[in-house]
Amino acid sequence: MSLVELRDVIKRHGQHTVLNGVSLIVEKGETVAIIGRSGAGKSTVLRCVNGLEPIQGGTVCVDDTVVNDPGTDLRQLRQHVGIVFQSFNLFPHLSVEKNITLAPNVMKGVPPTEARRLAEAVLRKVGLPGKIDAYPDLLSVGQQQCVAIARSLAMSPQLLLLDDPELVGEARNVLEALARDGMTMMLVTHEIGFVRKVANRVMFMHQGKIWEQGPAAATLTRPRTPELETFLSAVLH
């Protein structure tokens, strides 16, 4: 059953067309990797799915909710669609606990004691049970990434969007475990080895379009287009 569906999505920044008729489907429980050169539109796809970017044409649906419908409550949608940005976007002046519990507290009204228990649970899930009172700048890059993932998991999302995460040790292990557990994920990354290991399907974007897609192993081993072949040669050497 599909959780995400984009149909003929057009996204422009001024005169520049960033997404040019993008259509894709993500099934529940799938991990889909989006690869391609910088500027191909990969991160924009994620931002359109979460309603962070308005579109100029087509339709974006998440769990039968039309994201680009003016009547859609995007705040409500984002309670079910987590996004982890490349820069993590952790609040440096807040502890790990506060970073994680801010959204459940404000958006769901989860009381402080219950919120702390929730923070402890998601930190165990990402392998950082002892870091609840730490501050972001005292953590390694991989640990910060794990806190950003934990923050998204605290909202019990149906879908996790990951925008080119730093796939160092801890974070890599966490994402592999989430994929095994059936979390639906859309992942923008340049880490082809990770894509081979974790993704069910891969989508190669080029010039604002999905140029090629298919099962990860087959698509990455036998590219059908010269554009994907050239891209893989560049990132694998």
Residuewise pLDDT in 10s, the chain (237 residues): 899 999 999 999 999 999 999 999 999 999 999 999 999 999 999 999 999 999 999 999 999 999 999 999 999 998 899 999 877 789 999 999 999 999 999 888 999 899 999 999 999 999 999 999 999 999 998 899 999 999 999 999 999 999 987 777 778 889 999 999 999 999 999 889 999 999 999 999 999 999 999 999 999 999 999 999 999 999 886
pLDDT of residue 237: 67
Domain final residue pick, 115, 139, 156: 156
pLDDT of residue 88: 79
The size of the chain, in residues, is: 237
What DSSP designation does 138 have? G
Confirm whether 213 is domain-assigned.
yes
Alpha carbon distance 178, 172 (integer Å): 10
The tokens of 69 are what? 């419908």
pLDDT of residue 142: 87
Beta bridge partners of 161: 83, 186
**Listing from the earlier edge strand, what are the strands of the sheet with 159-163?**
81-84, 159-163, 184-188, 31-36, 201-206, 209-215
Task: Tell me the pairing of strands 2-13 and 57-62.
Answer: antiparallel
Confirm whether 85 is domain-assigned.
no
117 and 217 fall within a common domain = no
**Number of domain units in the chain:** 2
Which residue range(s) make up the domain with 26?
A: 2-80+158-236
pLDDT of residue 205: 97
110 and 172 fall within a common domain = no
Amino acid in the structure at residue 146:
C
- pTM of the model as a whole: 0.93
Confirm whether 49 is domain-assigned.
yes
Alpha carbon distance 155, 162 (integer Å): 15
Nearest to 120 by CA among 171, 89, 154, 91: 154
162 and 232 fall within a common domain = yes
pLDDT of residue 126: 93
E-only strand ranges, the chain: 2-13, 16-27, 31-36, 57-62, 65-66, 81-84, 159-163, 184-188, 201-206, 209-215
Confirm whether 66 is domain-assigned.
yes
Expressed in angstroms, the distance from the first to the final Cα of the chain is 37
